[in-house]
A and B are shown apart, each in its own frame.
Chain A
């Protein structure tokens, strides 16, 4: 069973640029969610994708957007990068359906640095 994989591992961007982060969900999981984790803090929910549709969003501006593909992999796009966007971005997958009992399975994250 393949776990959640994220790419790239690290990324350095300049303020104002755009970035795309990628995530492959665990086999059999159709729900992908993204989190932003600032240094020394707990992860903050950005949004969730279920069967290629965004169906849940946290308190993040529209310049944070995403996609989910038919194979349930996902992308997180951030436009007009700001210094405060520097963080660890975590992707998590879950079976969805009625699986509230199922925990989220997380990837190792992408460390984004904005200079």
Chain B
């Protein structure tokens, strides 16, 4: 079974600064997907960024980028030019590709990191 670990329960950043959230995972699989989701107080999980394990190039989405280190099983999220609206709980998640159709809807989540953005 796969596990996902987020070792930072809370992080804070000044508006316009950069912050990095850490995530490590454990798996014996070679192909998988990794995701970062954001959960604001509205409770809805919102996709921030995704990474395919077979791609060496790190994914980027505007101010959000990842540092994917497959050998180290590390998947950190960097938020540049932080904005007040970035304040939320951030979850790292893993999706297996080896369980056939049964894995489409199954994500394994980490414990989350609460991000506070100071004006």
When A42-B91, A103-B35 are in contact, do A96 and B101 touch as well, CB less than 8 Å?
yes
Q: Name B105's contact: one of A41, A97, A104 (CB within 8 Å).
A: A104
Stretch of A13-21, A76-84, A106-114 that contacts chain B: A106-114
* Docked-complex contact A41 and B111, CB < 8 angstroms: yes
Tell me, rounded to whole Å, the shortest Cβ–Cβ distance linking A2 to chain B.
14
* Surface stretch bound by A, among B12-20, B43-51, B65-73, B78-86: B43-51
Measured CB to CB, the nearest residue on chain B to A106 is B45
Q: Is the interface of B mostly helix, strand, loop or mixed?
A: mixed
Q: Judge whether A45 and B43 touch: CB under 8 Å.
A: no
The answer on a CB contact under 8 Å between A104 and B42 is no
> Roughly how many angstroms separate A106 CA and B37 CA in the complex, as a whole number?
10
Whether A45 and B107, one on each chain, are in contact in the complex, defined by CB atoms closer than 8 angstroms, is: yes
When chains A and B are docked, how far (Å) is the Cα of A56 from the Cα of B107? 11
Task: Say yes or no: is A86 at the interface (Cβ < 8 Å to chain B).
Answer: no
Assuming A106-B45, A108-B43, A109-B44, is B91 touching A48 (CB within 8 A)? no
Contact string, A88-115, partner B, CB cutoff 8 A, digits 1/0?
A: 1010111011011101101111010000
Q: Is the CB of A48 within 8 A of B50?
A: no
Complex Cα–Cα for A56 and B102 (A): 5
B45 and A41 contact, CB distance less than 8 A: no
What's the nearest-Cβ distance from chain B to residue A63, in Å? 20
Task: Please list the residues of chain B having a beta carbon within 8 angstroms of any beta carbon in chain A.
Answer: 4, 33, 35, 37, 42-47, 50, 52, 91, 93, 95, 97, 99, 101-112
What is A's interface to B at a CB cutoff of 8 Å?
31-33, 40-45, 48, 50, 55-56, 58, 88, 90, 92-94, 96-97, 99-101, 103-104, 106-109, 111
